[in-house]
Every structure is written in C-alpha cells, then in structure tokens.
A and B are shown apart, each in its own frame.
Chain A
Amino acid sequence: MKKNPRNVECATPKEPTLRELAEGVFQENATQVPEQVMPPEATRRTLHELRVHQIQLEMQNEELRRTQAELDIVRARYFDLYDMAPVGYCTLDEQGLILESNLTAAILLGVARTALVTKPISGFILREDHDIYYLHRKQLFETGVAQTCELRMVKPDGTTFWAHLDGNAARDEEGAPVCRLVLSDITALKRHEEKILQLSQAVEQSPALIIITNRDGEIEYVNPKFCAVTGFTREEVMGRNPRILKSGDKEPEDYREMWTTLLAGNEWRGEFHNRKKSGEVYWESSSISPIRNAAGEIAHFLAVKEDITERKRTEKALQEKIAEMERFTFTVSHDLKSPLVTIKTFLGYLEEDVRAQKMDAADRDLAYIHGAADKMGCLLDEVLDLARIGHKMNSPVNAPLQGIVQEALELVAGQIAGRGVRVEVTQEPVWLTGDRPRLVAIFENLLDNAVKFLGDQPAPRVEIGVETEGCELVLFVRDNGKGIDTRHRAKLFGLFEKLDPHSPGSGMGLAMVRRIVEVHGGKIWVQSDGVGRGATFRFTLAKTQLKSNETNSHE
C-alpha cells in the first residue's frame, strides 16, 4: 500500500522529514554541478535552498496526486457500497422527508434518485399502512431505539410490494435528528408466509382430523377437529402415541402391516375403530403418509382422518332398507304368485269339470278362484297402502291418547269381544301429535296383533299405557298372550313376516306400524320374556306430551 500523505507530516522522529528527504535527493544530484560554474558562497547557499525547496514541492505535488487517486478509489468503493447495496438506504428528517437515498432505494420505489429527495416517504406507502409507518417513526424519534416494521409500499406506477423497514436514529452534520432507514423488498417472503398461513389455516380448520407425529410416532401436532372428535385436548396428547385412541379390536398384524407400508415410504389407508376420551368408540377412515425432510429421510408421519361413524350408521341403515326392499319384492311376488297358481290351476280344473258336466265340482273350482282373486286384491291394496305412508299424510293434529285408542278399539271391537279380552287404557293425560288415521292404525294393528296371539290365555288382557324413559315418553301395548319366540323378534317388523297367514291381513300389519312410527319420528321395539309369557310393544312418537287436561279443554 502506498504511504498516506499524512504520514509524512506526522512522521515519527526516526523517519526522515520531507526536508531531509529533499536534502538526500539534492546531495545525490550535487556532484552533477560543474566546479567552474560554482557561484560565490552566499549565492550558492541560496541556490541550494531553492533547489531543496523545488524538490520538496515536487515531492509534495507527487504526494497530492497519489492522494487524489486514492480518494477516487475510496469514492468509487463508497458509491459501490452505498448505492449498489442489495437493500435500499434512505435518510429521513424528523418530518419524514427523504434527505438522501441510495440507488437501490430509488429503483425499489421506481423513481429517479433525484425525484426522491425532499419527498415525504409516506407518499410511497400504501394508504392503509400509513399508521404502521407513523407509529414506527414516532417511536424511533421518541426513544432513539432502532425500530423495524413491515408494510406495503406503492410505486408511482401503482404496483405495490411488501417492504421491511429497519430504522435507527442518528444526527446530521448540524446535529438535527435524522432517521436512517433500510428498505428491503420482502414480497416473495410475504407470499410464502401467506401461503404457509393459508395452508396452516386449512389444516387448523379442516373438517378432517389431522395428526402429525415424529418418526417415533409421538404426536407433535393435532388440529382442533381432532380435539373436538376425540375429546382430548392438545396438551393431553402432545408427545404421546396415537395408540391412546386404540379400541383394541384391530389385530396387531394389521398395525404391523401399516408400519411396514409407512416405513417403506408409502401411504397407508384404512379404517380404525377408535375410542374417544369418554370411552365412546367411533369409526374413522385414515390416510397416513410419511413426510420426508430436506435430506429425504422420513422425519414425520401425517395422518388425515375422517369420522365416518355417521356414514357407517347410514350405510347400515341403508343396507337394512335395501334388504327389506328385496324381501318386500320377493314376498310381494311370492304372495301374488300363490293365488295366481291357484287361479290358473283351478281354471284348468274348471274347464275339465265343465266339459265333464260336473257342475258341483265346477262350483267348487270357482269358489277357489274367487277366493284367490280376493286375496290378490287385498294384498295389492295393502301394498299400496303401505307405500302411501309417508307420502300422503293428513295434516297433523294434537289429540289425547285415549281418543285415538278409543277409535282403534271400535275398529277391532269384533275380535276383542269375540275373545273376551279386557282392555285397560291409562288415564295419564298423554297427547299425541300426528296424522290421526295413521295414529289410530298403530293401535288398531297392535291390538289386532295382541288378540291374534293370545293363545289359550283364559283371562286375556291388553294394557295400553305410557312410561317415562329418561326424558322420553314411551307408549306401550302389553298383552298376556303367548309371547314371541325370541328368534322371531328381529323379523317381526319386516314386511310380510306374518306368523299366521290365516289371519286377516297379509303380515304387513307390524311393518305398517313401524313405518307409521318412523314417519312420526319415533321407533318401535318389542319385549317378550318368551313363549307363553306375553309381549310388550313399546314405541315413541315425536311430540308426545304429558299435559294436564285443563290446558287443552278445547279438544
């Protein structure tokens, strides 16, 4: 490195002064002066002094030129550092006017540098974000502590970008407070941040249960839906293994298969029958996949699960309905075919008998044909009637249980009297709401059914009443007849599952009762202690109320 010119002036005593250096140069050249032109002593001294001064000046001049060159280099470096820095620099006064800025800042703001000076920087800040900036400036000048903020800036052409402002307080040459501001464009960063925020929001608000575990299967994250479904709080499951949810009805083999798939780097899909914190079990459909880190190693596992308990329940109900429909179709065709077989066969016999002039036999044949045709007619009527439940409804009425039962009793009065059945009806003020003829049909069918299955009970009795189960009112029709074989219980309410085809009706009575109860938002079930011990049909109907008669005296 070249010597700094200042070093010459502040030279240490050991170093030669400029005068000494100049003397040295003069001595070197002295011999070159010829003896004969030597002037007298005084003149010679003056000449010597002048020569040394001349040399001194030449040396100083040389030094100055070098310094000038060095200054140019420093200025270029400064320009490079300040102007071409990867971030924008601005100096602002207390009012926020730009005093100075680097080239990067000008480029960032989309204007010429000269156009920046004395402009308020707020003109480059999106109006909505002005408050952020003002607060930033206020705190900076008040506290003198460096401040940072993020806001949106806008270029004269209207495009906006996200900027990170880094400000610190300083003083200018006159000692006035100024703010030095570093501006950086963080639009790309912000965009990533927003993307991450969106994605994490999606995970947080997902209707699916989401669990992230580390490689050892320890829970590191669960989303709110997980907590909502399982009843566990986030704190309770952190660091634990998802097997805390195990209900125990999956084979260890299944888990092994799952881990083999996962550790091989593949996605595993399956269903779990899991247990909530409350002990309640639920069905979930799971997709578990390994998450690899930047090095490509499996670092985490992501489980996305869906609570499919309701779906399973619906599926099962649907399958039951489909099975019922199949049975219905089969039974209808079977039951219709049976009288058809009779009709066709006896038509053949009728032909033979008429041809043979056996008129008695022909009459008998006709009677069979009539009977079978009637049976088909009844059957079709009932099928249509059953199909109509739930489609054609009378407008709902509110009526006391006793009134409904009375109407039903009148419809089955013949059977009741014929068998000498004692019917007891509760006096509780129970009010039913629904399609009145259908409600009557429930009791009509249940009474009819009870009478049909009294067996050889010497003192037949049917009791109609109401019980409270939890907060629900449960109606019941109890008989002391021959009861129901437990094997038949499941089939009892099925279509055409008649136990006695000779009875009037086609076995659709109880199916119809169930249908009516269901369209009235209730359910029906039967209890029997077995053959010979009576049966109790219990059912609920939505909107059944227990209320005093006075409040409904208008009925």
Chain B
Amino acid sequence: MNKENSILNGPPITILLVEDEPAHAEIVRRNLSAFPVAHRLIHVGDGQMALDYLLRQEGYADPVCSPRPELILLDLRLPKVDGLEVLRQIKSSRDLETIPTVVLTTSATDSDLAAAYSLGARSYQLKPANFEGFTELLDTNYRPASGKQRVSHE
C-alpha cells in the first residue's frame, strides 16, 4: 500500500472510539498517534455515552464541541448499553447510518460478530497484542462517501 496516498496521512477526520477498557483505548490512541488523520480521536467509555454523543444528548449537545464522527470504532462489550445495541441505533438513524463502523473484538469466533455484520458493521478488528494491521484496516475501510464494502480480516 502506498503510504503516501493513504487516508492515514490525509487530512484529519473525526473518529469516535467507543471502548470501555482504558488500556485498549490507549492502545488505539498510540497506534493512531503517528498519523495526521487521527488528530481528532474522541473516546467514550460506555454505550450510553456513545449514544449520547452521536445523538447529541446530555453533555454532547454542542455540535462544535461534539462534531459528527466520520468513522466509529466500536467495542462490542460495553457497559450500560452494549455494542450491538449502539450499532443497531446507529444503523436505524438516517443521520448516522452512513458512518462506517468497525467493530473491535478479541475473538474472531465471537458470536456477536455475526450479529454485528448483519446489522451493517463495515468490518471488524481483532485486538491482538500489537493491533497489527489495524492502520491498514482503517485505510482500506475508510472511504468517505464510497459505497459499502466489506473486508474480511484474517
């Protein structure tokens, strides 16, 4: 992949990271920190906060402080409202359904993955030790305004 043309090196986009495990959030942040694209990484720690942010509720009412994400990284196991429910609400909202959503999981055999795909998740990212290939995955998946595409990731 030509890194020069990569989306990762393009203008920053707003990424919403929904991850309850602070260590995992830190890993994502560190992985993306090298790339200009991720300079607007917003992290929320549970499903309810994710919905509040996306639906501009509670403390996220201000559209300037809470810009609409162009990519969502979503953990499935979340407190309060679980990841599948967040995904369901994203996909049933006319405003949000077009935002590409990538599911984060530690297991490729997660039964929730199939459910996530059927709900319209764009792809999934295993949480291996080094998030290997994570940046490539983002690059492959994030195509603003492009049609849906699915990438299976071994």
Contacts and interface: CB of A to CB of B under 8 A. Distances in A.
A502 interface: yes
Interface string A317-349: 000000000000010011001110110111011
A341 B129 contact: yes
B152 interface: no
B106 A348 contact: no
A345 B24 CA distance: 9
Contacts of B24: 338, 341-342
B111 A338 contact: no
A368 interface: yes
A348 B27 CA distance: 11
A339 B20 CA distance: 12
A333 B107 CA distance: 9
Interface stretch (A136-144, A466-474, A493-501): A493-501
A339 B77 CA distance: 14
B93 interface: no
B129 A348 contact: yes
Contacts of A349: 30
B136 interface: no
Contacts of A330: 107, 109-111
Given A338-B127, A500-B80, A345 B27 contact: yes
A372 interface: yes
A345 B77 CA distance: 20
B108 to A, nearest CB: 11
Contacts, number: 55
B52 interface: no
A501 B106 contact: no
Given A345-B131, A348-B129, A348-B130, A498 B79 contact: yes
B26 interface: yes
A501 B79 contact: yes
Nearest to A487: B85
Contacts of B130: 344-345, 348
Contacts of B26: 368
B106 A499 contact: no
A504 interface: no
Contacts of A501: 20, 77, 79
A362 to B, nearest CB: 14
Interface string B15-28: 00000111110110
Interface residues of A, number: 21
Identify whether the interface residues of B are mostly helix, strand, loop, or mixed.
loop
Given A333-B107, A334-B106, A338-B127, A500 B23 contact: no
Contacts of A342: 21, 23-24, 27
Q: Is the interface of A mostly helix, strand, loop or mixed?
A: helix
A403 interface: no
Nearest to B21: A338
A371 interface: yes
Contact of B128 (A341, A498, A499): A341
Interface string A106-135: 000000000000000000000000000000
A413 B110 CA distance: 38
Contacts of A499: 79-80
B127 A341 contact: yes
Nearest to B128: A341
A546 to B, nearest CB: 39
Nearest to B107: A334
Nearest to A368: B23
A500 B79 contact: yes
Contact of B106 (A338, A498, A502): A338
Interface in A206-247: none
B96 to A, nearest CB: 21
Contact of A372 (B23, B45, B77): B23
Nearest to A352: B30
A334 B30 CA distance: 23
Central interface residue in A345, A348, A372, A499, by most chain B CB within 10 Å: A345
Interface in A493-552: 498-502
A191 to B, nearest CB: 64
B106 A337 contact: yes
A290 to B, nearest CB: 48
Contacts of A337: 106-107, 127
Given A330-B111, A501-B20, A344 B129 contact: yes
A345 B129 CA distance: 4
Given A345-B131, A501-B20, A334 B79 contact: no
6 contacts: A330-B110, A334-B77, A337-B106, A338-B106, A499-B79, A500-B80
Closest 4 CB pairs of A and B: A344-B129, A342-B23, A337-B106, A500-B79
Given A338-B106, A341-B127, A342-B21, 16 more contacts: A333-B107, A334-B106, A334-B107, A337-B107, A339-B23, A341-B24, A341-B106, A342-B24, A342-B27, A345-B23, A345-B27, A345-B129, A348-B130, A349-B30, A368-B22, A501-B77
Interface of B: 20-24, 26-27, 30, 45, 77, 79-80, 106-107, 109-111, 127-131
